[in-house]
A and B are shown apart, each in its own frame.
Chain A
Amino acid sequence: MKRILFCIGSLIVLVFGGMATINYLVDPGHIYSTDYIDQIIEGVRNGYNVERSSKNMDERLYKAKLAEIHNGEHFDFLAIGSSRVMTVSKDALNGSSLLNLGVSSCKLEDMISYLQICKCNNICFKNIIVSADPPLFNESYGDSRWKSIYNYCDELNGIGKDRGIDWEKIKQLVSPSYFQASFADICDMVIGKNKINYVTSYINDGFANRTDGSIYYDKKYRDVSQDVIDDRAANKTYASYNNFDSCSRERIELFEKLIAEIKNSDAKLFFLTLPYHPFFYKRVLNMQGAYESIEYINNFSKENDICVIGSFNPDDVGFTKADFYDGGHVKKESIDSLILNSLFYGVK
């Protein structure tokens, strides 16, 4: 029995110890060290776009730091929301200034935090674009990445009062999923792919973080055939839409509080309801919660006289499959034309 226990014990130590070590040293999500983020911030602060081969990092922390370097500035537009708004750049705003604080799988807590961050840093906006997407109301989606910036999220409804240890980061040390990402990154590290470049153009081979906070996808993701895009739309699983059985009442209440706060400020509010790829739109309509959320967003904006840019239904805005990178992400050029037409050229 002693031999068995030794075997088990040594396996546990080897496996978990090895996993934790590799996860910490490789750190594919750059969550244990802020050097990576600091390098990007440095580039952006100096007016460069930043090209990187790895998309992974603590986006929330990056956007918080991005806001901090714009302390005391005034912008024409603020954009907050999910990855669907992250490609909205100043190119879509007819030369207006923009600070894009969108983050992947944005939750309401993220939006609240970023508004707080801007307030704390005396950043003013004339207009606020909120990407009002159905997953905001999906209670089942338990992403807790917003906790990375919990410091800022304590004024509305007592959210984020829990300022304990960030257990998520500790859990990632022994996370098999993180280990898989670490293993993939080891190969990139060996061949020197995991680097950051300061560039002037935002169109590069790698993923680009632009000076206004927006992003531009890497070549591998954007330059694919329409069949691949359609496959992504038809088959890819989007975690924030999982188990989307109903539109959460609690999420609605929080959302309405957030919108009331924005309306009470001096900024004009816009809802950005970007269309879905036609294939993905069909899937979304079959999700009870997503369907209810779309109905709610449309009705809420009408009842509260909020200006809406775009529509979830691609047919409403004349979008085809060719306007998308995947199920939910519109091509930059298509976003630019949609927003320019809606906001500046008066084209419906």
Chain B
Amino acid sequence: MTFTSFEFLLFFPLVVLLYNIIPQKLRMWYLLVVSYVFYAFMQPVYLVLLSAVTGITYGFTRWMGATEDDDKKHKIMVWGIILVLLPLFFFKYFNFVNESIFSLLSLVGVQSTVPAIKWMLPVGISFYTFMAIGYLIDVNNEEVEVEKNIGSVGLFLSFFPYILSGPIERAGNMFPQLKKMPTSQPTDFTAGLKLMLWGYFMKLCVADRLGIYVDAVFKNIIQHNGNTLAFATLLYPIQVYADLGGYSLIAIGAARCMGIKIIPNFNRPFFATSMSELWRRWHMSLINWLTDYIYTPLSFVLRKWKVWGIVCALMLTFLISGIWHGAAFKYILWGLLQGFYLSAEALFQKRRLDVENKFELKKRWWYVFLSCLVVFVLFAFSQIFGKCSARSGLAVVEKIFTNRGLVFIDKTTIVYSVIALIVMFVKDFRDEFFPGKMRFFESKYFAVRYVSYLTIILLILLFGNFQESQFIYFQF
């Protein structure tokens, strides 16, 4: 059952209805059961794994809470993190590490003796593993209190709106809300539904429509010329934004309908005027996690190296980010490229600021526009390695620069996508530069709001791609 399946459209209203009916004391357990049932629709056997990670997280945090000695607490935290990471390593990285090691050893004549594991990757494992690690670290740093109720810990890790593809939540944000479990208020309910409606539009009309074209081109790199590949390259980050951004909005909206506020995940990333700003707007829950638990401690440790310490911290952080995305060299390449971009910015930041201040460039619309465009193109270029294998990615890059020709256009798909894209872009543009103007969903007139909802629903029905489609971030 995915968010765009018919089953979810029946499941969700029922869940919200029962949530508001049952006594407040039982709501946390109710949502825990519902979340486990939701996960069971995907992969029931991996509920055991989820429970195990929950048990380890709960047990180790309680142990840390009962320990006064800071060193001992730290050691418990480290062991807790190792145990929680083991399933992720086993399912996601074992084959990659195994093959890589034996590829190297085969150069000296040693053959592989360890067979590959052919088990399916548990859905959401990267997300709940990171949340568990974050909680362990927060308890060690005394940023959150130890949660004594195992049901709360279980629900924190398995909450159905975000378990499959995020956002990656924090214990500090979730536990206080999970204790309250308020009845749905009208404002939260309507806000939640609006977020979900917009999320479905982004997912079905933009992401899934663009996906038809982008996937067709990238699956047949040999057949397409450089211009077509360049065009698909530019469309791919928009597809990812609409896909994961749309999914996140549905997740945030679903939680909001029950009065639970989840952290946002995207903030109009294509209006960023620098790579660092893009990464403050793109997949924010992941980047904040990496910043708080990897980058900040690393840059503190490397502070004596000054700007080079920052560069090393950035490269390592994004290397980890790349590895988190997947067990393949292409993700490592992708991560290193992001790190390179940000490091280059860090090194030239002072000079750039000087020039911008001297000529008041940030007030000039053409400078802002060019900056957004350059950032977008650089980001799109790096996303080639998110889409293809490292070898294919390099082939794509070579073709873009050397192989000319007419752009392949799938008329129906492109026309539908462009219409939906324009709607999405206009909304983002308004939110970025003219917040509070031309309010449709938030209009004070009921008729305007009603017609807006109906229009978006009709656009979804007319332009949405309703063939079976998984969110890009499902297998993370």
A235 partner residues in chain B, CB cutoff 8 A: 216-217, 219-220, 223, 408, 410
Stretch at the interface among B166-174, B233-241, B432-440, B454-462: B454-462
Q: Complex: how many Å from CA A3 to CA B457? A: 19
Q: B residues 167-214 with Cβ under 8 Å of A?
A: 186, 189-190, 193, 212
Q: B residues 436-458 with Cβ under 8 Å of A?
A: 446, 450, 453-454, 457-458
Contact partner of B189 (CB less than 8 A), chosen from A4, A14, A15, A234, is A4
A15 partner residues in chain B, CB cutoff 8 A: 454, 457-458, 461
Is the beta-carbon distance between B408 and A237 smaller than 8 angstroms? no
Given contacts A15-B457, A231-B408, A235-B223, contact A7 B450 (CB under 8 A): yes
Q: Complex: how many Å from CA A7 to CA B190? A: 10
Q: Complex: how many Å from CA A11 to CA B457? A: 9
Contact partner of B464 (CB less than 8 A), chosen from A8, A14, A176, A279, is A176
B466 partner residues in chain A, CB cutoff 8 A: 175-177
Q: Is A19 an interface residue (CB 8 A)?
A: yes
A176 partner residues in chain B, CB cutoff 8 A: 460-461, 464, 466
**Which residue of chain B lies nearest to A279 when distances are taken between CB atoms in the complex?**
B223
Given contacts A1-B186, A177-B466, A180-B462, contact A237 B457 (CB under 8 A): no
Q: Complex: how many Å from CA A283 to CA B219? A: 9
Q: Complex: how many Å from CA A121 to CA B460? A: 46
Q: Mark interface residues in A223-245 (1 if CB within 8 Å of B CB, else 0).
A: 00000001100111101000000
Q: Is A183 an interface residue (CB 8 A)?
A: yes
Q: Complex: how many Å from CA A1 to CA B188? A: 11
**Which residue of chain A lies nearest to B224 when distances are taken between CB atoms in the complex?**
A234
Q: Complex: how many Å from CA A175 to CA B219? A: 29
When A and B form their complex, what is the total count of cross-chain residue pairs whose Cβ atoms lie within 8 Å?
53
**Which residue of chain A lies nearest to B412 when distances are taken between CB atoms in the complex?**
A184
Provide the main secondary structure of the chain A interface.
Answer: helix
Is the beta-carbon distance between B461 and A179 smaller than 8 angstroms? yes
Q: Complex: how many Å from CA A127 to CA B410? A: 42
B217 partner residues in chain A, CB cutoff 8 A: 235
Q: Complex: how many Å from CA A8 to CA B446? A: 13
How far does the Cβ of B246 sit from chain A's closest Cβ, in whole Å? 16
Q: A residues 160-194 with Cβ under 8 Å of B?
A: 175-177, 179-180, 183
**Which residue of chain B lies nearest to A232 when distances are taken between CB atoms in the complex?**
B410
Interface residues on A, range: 20 to 34
Among B193, B216, B446, B461, residue most surrounded by chain A Cβ atoms (within 10 Å): B461
Given contacts A1-B186, A176-B466, A237-B212, contact A8 B193 (CB under 8 A): yes
Q: Complex: how many Å from CA A235 to CA B414? A: 14
How far does the Cβ of A170 sit from chain B's closest Cβ, in whole Å? 13
Q: Complex: how many Å from CA A19 to CA B462? A: 11
How far does the Cβ of A39 sit from chain B's closest Cβ, in whole Å? 29
Q: B residues 236-263 with Cβ under 8 Å of A?
A: none
Q: Complex: how many Å from CA A153 to CA B460? A: 38
Q: Mark interface residues in B363-376 (1 if CB within 8 Å of A CB, else 0).
A: 00000000000000
Q: Mark interface residues in A206-237 (1 if CB within 8 Å of B CB, else 0).
A: 00000000000000000000000011001111
Is the beta-carbon distance between B461 and A11 smaller than 8 angstroms? no
B467 partner residues in chain A, CB cutoff 8 A: 177, 239
Q: Complex: how many Å from CA A7 to CA B248? A: 24
How far does the Cβ of B231 sit from chain A's closest Cβ, in whole Å? 13
Q: Complex: how many Å from CA A7 to CA B194? A: 12
**Which residue of chain A lies nearest to B186 when distances are taken between CB atoms in the complex?**
A1
Q: Complex: how many Å from CA A283 to CA B186? A: 52
A237 partner residues in chain B, CB cutoff 8 A: 212, 216
Is the beta-carbon distance between A4 and B186 smaller than 8 angstroms? yes
Given contacts A4-B186, A235-B217, A235-B410, contact A19 B461 (CB under 8 A): yes
Contact partner of B453 (CB less than 8 A), chosen from A11, A177, A283, is A11
Is the beta-carbon distance between A180 and B223 smaller than 8 angstroms? no
Q: Complex: how many Å from CA A239 to CA B217? A: 17
**Which residue of chain A lies nearest to B406 when distances are taken between CB atoms in the complex?**
A227
How far does the Cβ of B239 sit from chain A's closest Cβ, in whole Å? 16
A8 partner residues in chain B, CB cutoff 8 A: 193
Q: Complex: how many Å from CA A35 to CA B467? A: 29
Q: Mark interface residues in A253-283 (1 if CB within 8 Å of B CB, else 0).
A: 0000000000000000000000000010001
**Which residue of chain B lies nearest to A19 when distances are taken between CB atoms in the complex?**
B461
Q: Complex: how many Å from CA A281 to CA B212? A: 20
A14 partner residues in chain B, CB cutoff 8 A: 454
How far does the Cβ of B470 sit from chain A's closest Cβ, in whole Å? 11
Binding site for A on B (CB under 8 A): 186, 189-190, 193, 212, 216-217, 219-220, 223-224, 408, 410, 446, 450, 453-454, 457-458, 460-462, 464, 466-467
22 A-B pairs in the complex with CB atoms less than 8 angstroms apart: A1-B189, A3-B446, A4-B190, A7-B453, A11-B450, A11-B454, A14-B454, A19-B461, A175-B466, A176-B461, A177-B466, A179-B461, A231-B410, A234-B220, A234-B223, A235-B219, A235-B223, A235-B410, A237-B216, A239-B467, A279-B220, A283-B219
Known A3-B446, A11-B454, A231-B410; further 19 A-B contacts with Cβ < 8 A: A4-B189, A15-B457, A15-B458, A15-B461, A19-B461, A175-B466, A176-B460, A177-B467, A179-B461, A179-B462, A180-B461, A231-B408, A234-B220, A235-B219, A235-B220, A235-B223, A236-B216, A237-B216, A279-B220
A-B pairs, top 9 by smallest CB distance, nearest first, are A235-B216, A234-B223, A176-B466, A234-B220, A177-B466, A176-B461, A1-B186, A179-B461, A15-B457
